[in-house]
Structure 1
Amino acid sequence: MTQARDGVLSRRAVLAAMGAVPVLATATPAAGAAVTAAAAVVIDRSAQRQTIRGFGGMTHAAWIGDLTAAQRDTAFGTGEGRLGFSVLRIPVPENQADWGRDLATARRASELGAAVIASPWNPPARMVETFVRGSQTNARRLRYDMYGAYAQHLNDFNTYLRNNGVNLYGISVQNEPDYAHDWTWWTPAEMVRFLRENAGSIGTRVIAPESFQYLKNMSDPILNDAAALANVDIIGAHLYGTSFANFPYPLFKQKGAGKELWMTEVYYPNSSDSADLWPQALDVGEHIHRAMVEAEFQAYVWWYIRRGYGPMREDGQISKRGANMAHFARFVRPGYVRVEATANPASNVYVSAYRGGNSTVVVAVNKGTAAVSQQFTLRNGTASSVSSWLTDASRNVASQGTTGVSNGSFTVTLPARSVMTFVTA
């Protein structure tokens, strides 16, 4: 992502639309519409899938200004009216003089328990050379004789943050190396070479390759090279224009043992509409669902936290898109594990489930125009009651009280065009 494309109809916006479902009309269903019955959702707590690291977003003070103190607490707090983010992404500035720009937000996020990751757009200018890439005559790349110095640059940034109270969870080699008209290009072979020969000296987790569209031609060579893979901790990806059909990654499941899989940047479905447009904001809920269930990502990280199309409006209030994120972020905490659940019990209904200690968290998105009577059944787990929260056209993550659980089952009505979170006790 680049500042120049923020909020305009760009190639990126077109690409994002490629992976989007059609925008729903804003009309509400007629009063007295029937409630649809759905197949039961079976949640098997013993069928464990990926460990969740968190949900979050990016701050970039140089481009859009820093979050205020109150906005930091809204973003990373977990109480009512908060987003509950547990991941913060920040840039790695080229110049050491700029390394403190995002420090205040990184410190506060860290204090509130969030993991902080960092991504560079460019190496220091002295390490870069220009070359001709197709029609681009001023394309940039890291000089081959500067690979070691660049690894030290990343390591120095990690040390700077640690010395200032922030322990980076991980650092990326390059933001979007395959969409780098405005920053630094890397070929798959160059990325593999750097990982093989230089990344092992970096003193925190290494993230790569952060392809803009989760293009596997960037990450397959890493997974297929044992020496490169040994120096990578997190396979990172962006989802701009990525079709749902390309969410699964069989090669990672085959060769990525011991590695993490993160989605480190996206806005969805676009950057041109208000984040409060309803029911379009439910697209975010479905997108996160598919990222968790179909792609099996362990983290989901938005682009700018505070933006008119983002989870936090410019006035610091949570948007409808943000409320969809909060249904996951506030309740599915780092270390929770996704468990098997009936993912699509009815048309336009999307369900995922997670276990944390003795509790089970269920997130249900109903994009349909009719309310749905939905039964949930817990297997290999017990519960006496379930608390719920609701977002619809008029409410944002509003508490709905508790419901009893009988013989491991409970039945609730999912309102039309809504998202709900359930937490068992």
Structure 2
Amino acid sequence: MSISASQLFDVASSSFLSKRAQPSVSIVVDTNIKYQELDGFGCSQAFQRAEDIFGKYGLDAENTQYVLDLLFDVNIGAGLSILRNGIGSSNSSVSNFMNSIEPFSPGSPNGRPNYTWNHYDSGQFPLAQQAQARGLSTLYGDAWSAPGYMKTNDDENNGGYLCGVTNEPCASGDWKQAYANYLVQWARFYEESGVKVTNIGFLNEPQFAATYAGMLSNGTQAADFIRVLAKTIQASGLNLKINCCDGIGWDDQEAMMPGLLAGPDPAINYLSVVTGHGYDSPPNYTLTTNGVKTWLSEWGDLTGDYHPYTFYEDGGPAEGMTWAKNIQVALVDANVSGFLYWIGAENSTSSSSLINLINNSIVTTKRFWTFAQFSKFARPGAYRVKATSSDSLITVSSFLNTGGGVATQVINSGSTAYTVELKVSGFGGNSWVQPYLTDNANNLTALAKVGGSQDGTFTTEIPAWSLVSFVLS
């Protein structure tokens, strides 16, 4: 079959027009304009999920080490830097209950507590050891509830309030100080056993009377306890930062802020981090914290659907693209310093974790690789810096790391590839940028390095429906 000259011209012309038609975007990063400091990215293994990693459902020792490396080792895996351990409130370990260090009431708030410590803590203590050995910088101990005997409903489950906070008296007395002692003792057990707890919290989703461990509170009631906890920590000699209050949604946490900001001795003055979740409402604006850092301390896809290999199909809640956008909006619009997915790894076929463990098999999901695009390159201590895009389909965030390197995350929400002209202040013609790509076909794939022009512009490309991290060091 022969092709005429006119047909050859048409083919060449079509190819040329196609290349010319590819849109371009200008991305400018100004490292001189800084915003929030980054504490990092993380997850939890609460409610006995830590035991999944240690072989409860058949994961062998070699794969246990690999999962730990994937989650917490910055060279091998995502390098997650925050672990949220649950401070247990149960006197039983049936189902997925978390054991209490004081499983039975001392009889009264002033009674002598009978603390117990097994160096296991529902699998969370050895997990914390392994994570810190791999570089974990922040261990957040968070109680979903006080033990039931300290609460108005005498139950760790089904809501109830801490006895003694505003408008919640109990016949048994005021348990605020006993609960503060309890939390500090949990952190002391960890520290005496060689694991440093950095942050402590005492509530989880206090707007929701869950059938599992939980405790209700408004902002004023939380403030009542924060003042007691702060004095108890100071007297203990431990170096612990206080977090509050893990509201079930961003709006729910904002609704608690007036109570934390009010009074002649505002509780906000004792907090190091204000924490909120993304379930009822997403983190898309800055909380009113008077300058105190914020974390998105829990969020995940709880629909039950299993979509481990999809970066983008239709914008579903399990997709990697969805979580790339969630993370970037939280960083840029809500100025969060930390972002934690609900579970790191669990034995399930759902999307509530970053890694699915199926007996002795490991499935690294697109959500995991999406997190790694941020957590591996934007490290604790980095500052978010100003980054702009000339096209609304191309969104961007950027971080200046402590060593001077810059990690810029670019999301293409469009159906076509873009030519990218990236300009980063302080990096000129002798610099190189290393792109890493995650999309439907790639998992944190290192692409060819790109050299800068004399004016410091790096010209490269971003595929359709993708996330690329551009790393300069």
Range of TM-score over shorter length: 0.7 to 0.9
1:37 aligns with one of 2, 11, 23: 23
Tell me which residue corresponds to 1:165.
194
1:376 aligns with one of 412, 418, 422: 422
2:345 aligns with one of 306, 309, 320: 306
Conserved? CA contact 2:249–2:282, under 8 Å: no
Conserved? CA contact 2:287–2:294, under 8 Å: no
Secondary structure of 1:142's partner? Answer: coil
Q: How big is the shift at 1:78?
A: 1.4
Q: How big is the shift at 1:62?
A: 2.1
Secondary structure of 1:151's partner? Answer: helix
Conserved? CA contact 1:222–1:229, under 8 Å: yes
Q: Deviations over 1:3-36 (max 9, x none)?
A: xxxxxxxxxxxxxxxxxxxxxxxxxxxxx79864
- Counterpart code for 1:267: G
Q: How does 1:251-266 map to 2 (within 5 A)?
A: 251-252=288-289, 255-256=290-291, 259-266=292-299
Q: How big is the shift at 1:269?
A: 8.2
- Counterpart code for 1:106: A
Gap change, CA 1:36 and 1:271, over 3 Å in 2: farther
Tell me which residue corresponds to 1:100.
121
Q: How big is the shift at 1:340?
A: 0.3
Whole-angstrom CA distance in 2 between matches of 1:128 and 1:333: 40
1:249 aligns with one of 286, 297, 300: 286
Conserved? CA contact 1:43–1:378, under 8 Å: yes
- Counterpart code for 1:62: Q
Gap change, CA 1:111 and 1:393, over 3 Å in 2: same
Conserved? CA contact 2:22–2:416, under 8 Å: yes
More strand by share: 1
Gap change, CA 1:268 and 1:35, over 3 Å in 2: farther
Secondary structure of 2:71's partner? Answer: helix
Secondary structure of 1:194's partner? Answer: helix
Secondary structure of 2:409's partner? Answer: strand
Tell me which residue corresponds to 1:222.
260
For structure 2, which runs of at least 5 residues remain unmatched after alignment?
A: 1-17, 54-63, 90-99, 102-115, 165-173, 313-318
Tell me which residue corresponds to 1:188.
219
Tell me which residue corresponds to 2:432.
385
Q: Deviations over 1:257-305 (max 9, x none)?
A: xx32111100148543423233032111111110110001000000011
Tell me which residue corresponds to 1:347.
392
Whole-angstrom CA distance in 2 between matches of 1:389 and 1:90: 31
Conserved? CA contact 1:268–1:283, under 8 Å: no
Conserved? CA contact 2:297–2:340, under 8 Å: yes
Q: Deviations over 1:362-393 (max 9, x none)?
A: 11111211111111112245461111111111
Tell me which residue corresponds to 1:417.
465
TM-score, normalised relative to structure 1 = 0.84
Task: Between 90-99 and 101-110, report the one with greater CA deviation.
Answer: 90-99
Conserved? CA contact 1:35–1:372, under 8 Å: no
Q: How big is the shift at 1:143?
A: 1.1
Conserved? CA contact 1:174–1:209, under 8 Å: yes
Whole-angstrom CA distance in 2 between matches of 1:78 and 1:106: 16
Conserved? CA contact 2:153–2:159, under 8 Å: yes
- Counterpart code for 1:345: S
Gap change, CA 1:269 and 1:404, over 3 Å in 2: farther
- Counterpart code for 1:140: G
Whole-angstrom CA distance in 2 between matches of 1:48 and 1:138: 43
Whole-angstrom CA distance in 2 between matches of 1:138 and 1:106: 29
Tell me which residue corresponds to 2:328.
289
Q: Which has the larger radius of gyration?
A: 2
Whole-angstrom CA distance in 1 between matches of 2:198 and 2:288: 24
Q: How big is the shift at 1:347?
A: 3.2
Give me the CA root mean square deviation: 2.3
Tell me which residue corresponds to 1:7.
none
Gap change, CA 1:194 and 1:278, over 3 Å in 2: same
Q: Deviations over 1:128-161 (max 9, x none)?
A: 2219xxxxx9642211100000000100011011
Conserved? CA contact 1:363–1:421, under 8 Å: yes
Conserved? CA contact 1:234–1:262, under 8 Å: yes
Q: How does 1:221-240 map to 2 (within 5 A)?
A: 221-225=259-263, 226-240=265-279
Whole-angstrom CA distance in 1 between matches of 2:295 and 2:74: 22
| Larger RCO of the pair (alpha carbons < 8 Å, separation 6+) | 1
Please state if 1:335 is matched with 2:371: no
Gap change, CA 1:138 and 1:372, over 3 Å in 2: closer
TM-score, normalised relative to structure 2 = 0.76
Q: How big is the shift at 1:64?
A: 6.9
- Counterpart code for 1:116: L
For structure 1, which runs of at least 5 residues remain unmatched after alignment?
A: 1-31, 132-136
Conserved? CA contact 1:91–1:118, under 8 Å: yes
